[in-house]
Structure 1
């Protein structure tokens, strides 16, 4: 995908975002997921939450650090993958989405040089886990790392409404 290419989102209730599942990554539990006793428990929660909200024909943008690809077949939806720093596969690194008159850059690492060209409205990203807020009003960023979205994908429509509502506030939102 070239930088100027865009995807027009028609139904924001059927387009989802999630990042940093780290399936199969044992150390992630001790680093930032102490609520899980083991990988099996973590995998079950993420897959269950995902399949509870995502429909079979919905589109899911997974913004990097997917992990063990064997879990891919267990997940509902048409999954579009963006490459993260822990991914070995050669997926696209970023996407530009238009929704309700707004332009979103969708990628893994919001601090990468790949964002310098972007002149749109907001960046939807992962990579930062719990080290950045869910909504960063000043930087116009939405963090969809699993830890800040309760291990459950979030829709484009929900993100849009939260951004609109955030115009009334001066502070960031730490979690969804």
Structure 2
């Protein structure tokens, strides 16, 4: 049994192909390849922490891919997830109406295949230290100035496992980006992240996407 981390799959989101230069001809190709890479990496006995931004587009169709993914799946919502605490649709109306919409949104993701949803997962023990776990890094963004500052973890001098920045970096100082755009499209095992923590503070570029070799002429 292995624990993995990932984020920012963006199932169903055609524009992410262009935004992050993903090597796909269309959203159907991307969805299928993301699922293939996941299931080639993760077994049913494994646990995967998904640090947000699961699906966009036609949400029911996009979320349907979650049930096809192996393992025990835990969601830490990001800013593109309808069950995220900061979602504008969940902050309107009376407290009762907000609570009802929030529960309906959470139920939608649980029904899609997530076993758990953790709005504030706290910390995760890795390489002998307790790292923060969040969709957001301490600082930095994929769109210029830092967004969603109120939802970011406090930088206490430790490490953070995060997503949100896509292909901006794989490691920046004490920030480890677990997103698919940094790890060749695959979830990353916790022992690989622990090795980065052990190696210390540095900056690392994203890995290339893991694409099958094109067969030559027979």
Q: How does 1:90-109 map to 2 (within 5 A)?
A: 90=106, 91-95=117-121, 96-109=123-136
In the superposition, the TM-score normalised over structure 1's length comes to 0.82
Gaps of 5+ in 1: 1-12
In the superposition, the TM-score normalised over structure 2's length comes to 0.67
Structure richer in strand, relative to its length? 1
- Cα offset, 1:119, TM superposition: 3.5
- The RMSD of aligned alpha carbons is 1.9
Q: How does 1:17-166 map to 2 (within 5 A)?
A: 17-67=5-55, 68-89=62-83, 90=106, 91-95=117-121, 96-110=123-137, 111=139, 112-117=149-154, 119=156, 121-131=158-168, 133-137=169-173, 140-166=174-200
Cα 1:141/1:51, change in 2 over 3 Å = same
String of CA shifts for 1:105-145, please: whole Å, max 9, x gaps.
111112443445463631011011112x11112xx100112
Gaps of 5+ in 2: 56-61, 84-105, 107-116, 140-148, 208-218
Q: Could you say which structure has the larger radius of gyration?
A: 2
Q: Does 1:174 align with 2:168?
A: no
Q: Distance in 1 between matches of 2:20 and 2:52?
A: 17
- Cα offset, 1:74, TM superposition: 0.4
Asked if the contact 1:62–1:79 (Cα under 8 Å) also holds between the matched residues in 2, the reply is yes
Structure with higher RCO (Cα < 8 A, 6+ apart): 1
The aligned length equals 158
